[in-house]
Structure 1
């Protein structure tokens, strides 16, 4: 039975795959190899599988190549975007620095103009007082002249009455001559008094006109001063508000920060010292109060500038990076357990330069478990920054560094799964979120 089934199966295969013979001929003999239907089927199936595997492998390789090319293009585009953003931030920071410098120059020029106008105002005030004193003296003289005139009139009347009462002592001719002489004297005195009075009145009118002109000039100068002070106050507000917002967003009290800076920079004098033109202890004028308020605002902005360079308001990496693990709780990449991450990880190329984010002193530069190669920098106001997993260290303990100084190279040392920088900021020994300072600085720098 089995033989019969095998024979029928063999017959059906031969209809589609007839038996083939492969002849091999040599010099002495001829041989052949018989290719049965089953052998042909096995060879066909093997060739088909080999061809299918070749097609699938080629497709996988092409897809992987296309995917790798797309990833490289995407990475290049992302890097270009980061570079464009960094260039824009750098341009904006330079523009704001230029605006602050120009505002300082404009304020210095305006302050000089205010001082000159104040001197002219004081001079015009003195002139006005002198004119008022002169007018008072002229009025006193005029009143004295009028009194003398009235006295002369009274004397003339008294003499006339005396002459009339002396009948028989003088002749009629002598009486007439005395009366005429007296009238001439009185007329001349009255004419001189009237002329002097007219001159005094004319001088008084001129003095009043000059006082009016001086008053108008003073009012115009006060209006110009008010416009100048208003512009300076607006410029100061625009310059100080972003700095104030930056420190508040970083979690620091601006008042406490300025107080701490003043303790370290307590020297007296300079262009920002409050001004005072009075030496008699009188109350300051409104112009002095506004000028001193502007000077106080500029002093505050200067304190902000000093504090900004003492605090880590900068990026530790200037090249293109990718933010990976952030601040807070996360799953440990080695054992999967929940663990607090006390910094911000920034992934980049191996050997990428690392820079100090603020002025300070290096307190540690070496190997530490977990961090690998680590640098610690102590800053003012109880701030410390840490830079971990470095491939190289370029500073020494005790070295003083400034913002922007290169201190090391990005690496993969210590407890790390890949090349990156572990960046920490600590306030009084407690770790705080570094992105708070980085995001706050983007509003100004």
Structure 2
């Protein structure tokens, strides 16, 4: 250790021997003595300054090059980001456009569905009510006229046990699409058409039982009903789709069926189908050729005779307006009721009359009391039914009324 120290000191002394600097000025000589340690400190300072200068120079040079590379990379990243933003904006604009288109399409579909639903509701309103005629007063307590139920010219379609007049639409969880709702509407339209056909045929069968025939009745009156104007079949100012146009065409056809059904049912409701006596009665004389009880020879009989007891209630066989109430030759006291559509009923030989001309009566309303006035041999009712001024067999009408009652 001592040897290493001695060698180090010898090296130091050789590197930094004591030096003297002489300075002569004005004949005077001066010198400055620089010790080895002062020289070592100056050398160390100079070395440090040189190293620091080299470090700064290298750092500046290398830093300038790195800054250039970094700037180029940043430009590329910025351009990439801008392209990404532009793509996002384009996709957003496209998504908004598609959303608007789908929203508009959904709104159109919804508007079309609502229009169809409103049309169906109007149609169902026409079908609303009892499917059969109220027949509570069509037959008297003792009526013994029976008729077998038969539907002439019946359609092959199956009758439905029930018909729902309103639709319940389950849209919980948005599981039911507008397309499915429209399909349900078309199915409901099918049911409405089937019901209208069934009810029209049922009413026609009743009319056929009177032997007059629905065609002859239709010839004497115009038939019509509310229909949808095809010129108004637009939704939101736009032309309807083929599916909706087809639906409205079928709706128009169904409305015609419903109008026909209503027409026949109105006729049936107006017909004199009820028993004309409000108590049990017996059938005493037929319609047509019979032996006249006074002259004892065959003679045409325009109506039928039914008997009960003096003062028995005589009631309207159908709804209508009293067109005559008074006395007629041969009939005695008589009441005539106009039922509309060309139908009239006549009640003769009454003891008394309880209505006046112009009164409105419903089926089963009291119009008089059974008597024997006029050309009569005893207490009975002479009952006649007319269509367009021609007499028809009242028994056919009473059988038709019993047919309605049986249904």
TM-score bin, normalised by smaller chain: 0.5 to 0.7
Are residues 179 and 384 of structure 1, via their aligned partners in 2, closer, same or farther at CA, if it must alter by over 3 Å?
A: same
Are residues 410 and 223 of structure 1, via their aligned partners in 2, closer, same or farther at CA, if it must alter by over 3 Å?
A: same
Is 1:403 aligned to residue 362 of structure 2?
Answer: yes
Residues 381-426 of structure 1: CA distance to partner in whole angstroms, max 9, x if unpaired? 3333221222222233x33232233111112233333322111112
DSSP-derived class of the 1:241 partner: helix
Contact 2:204–2:214 under 8 Å retained in 1: no
Question: How big is the shift at 1:308?
Answer: 3.6
DSSP-derived class of the 1:366 partner: strand
Is 1:365 aligned to residue 326 of structure 2?
Answer: yes
Is 1:352 aligned to residue 242 of structure 2?
Answer: no
Residues 162-203 of structure 1: CA distance to partner in whole angstroms, max 9, x if unpaired? xxxxxxxxxxxx9x9999977764554344334543675588
Larger radius of gyration: 2
Are residues 355 and 281 of structure 1, via their aligned partners in 2, closer, same or farther at CA, if it must alter by over 3 Å?
A: farther
Contact 2:223–2:260 under 8 Å retained in 1: no
Give the structure, 1 or 2, with the largest relative contact order (CA under 8 Å, sep 6 or more). 2
Contact 1:320–1:348 under 8 Å retained in 2: yes
DSSP-derived class of the 2:306 partner: strand
Are residues 292 and 178 of structure 1, via their aligned partners in 2, closer, same or farther at CA, if it must alter by over 3 Å?
A: farther
> Which of residues 242, 253, 256 in structure 1 aligns to 2:214?
253
* 1:89-168 equivalence runs, <5 A: none
DSSP-derived class of the 1:423 partner: strand
Gaps of 5+ in 2: 1-63, 110-175
Contact 1:244–1:254 under 8 Å retained in 2: no
Gaps of 5+ in 1: 1-173, 267-271
Is 1:392 aligned to residue 352 of structure 2?
Answer: yes
Partner in structure 2 of residue 312 of structure 1: 272
Question: How big is the shift at 1:379?
Answer: 3.9
> Which of residues 158, 173, 192 in structure 2 aligns to 1:232?
192
DSSP-derived class of the 1:435 partner: helix
Contact 1:330–1:338 under 8 Å retained in 2: yes
Question: How big is the shift at 1:255?
Answer: 8.6
Q: TM-score, normalised on structure 2?
A: 0.52
Question: How big is the shift at 1:353?
Answer: 0.8
Partner in structure 2 of residue 278 of structure 1: 234
Residues 341-382 of structure 1: CA distance to partner in whole angstroms, max 9, x if unpaired? 11122121221111122302323511422x233223344333
Partner in structure 2 of residue 218 of structure 1: 178
Partner in structure 1 of residue 131 of structure 2: none
Q: What RMSD, in angstroms, separates the aligned Cα atoms of the two structures?
A: 4.2
Residues 67-98 of structure 1: CA distance to partner in whole angstroms, max 9, x if unpaired? xxxxxxxxxxxxxxxxxxxxxxxxxxxxxxxx
Partner in structure 1 of residue 373 of structure 2: 413
DSSP-derived class of the 1:412 partner: coil
Contact 1:330–1:340 under 8 Å retained in 2: yes
Contact 1:310–1:380 under 8 Å retained in 2: yes
Q: TM-score, normalised on structure 1?
A: 0.48
Residues 192-240 of structure 1: CA distance to partner in whole angstroms, max 9, x if unpaired? 33454367558868958x9599697222222332333333334433433
Q: Name the CA distance, whole Å, in 1 between partners of 2:269 and 2:184.
A: 37
Q: Name the CA distance, whole Å, in 2 between partners of 1:381 and 1:201.
A: 71
Is 1:244 aligned to residue 134 of structure 2?
Answer: no
DSSP-derived class of the 1:329 partner: strand
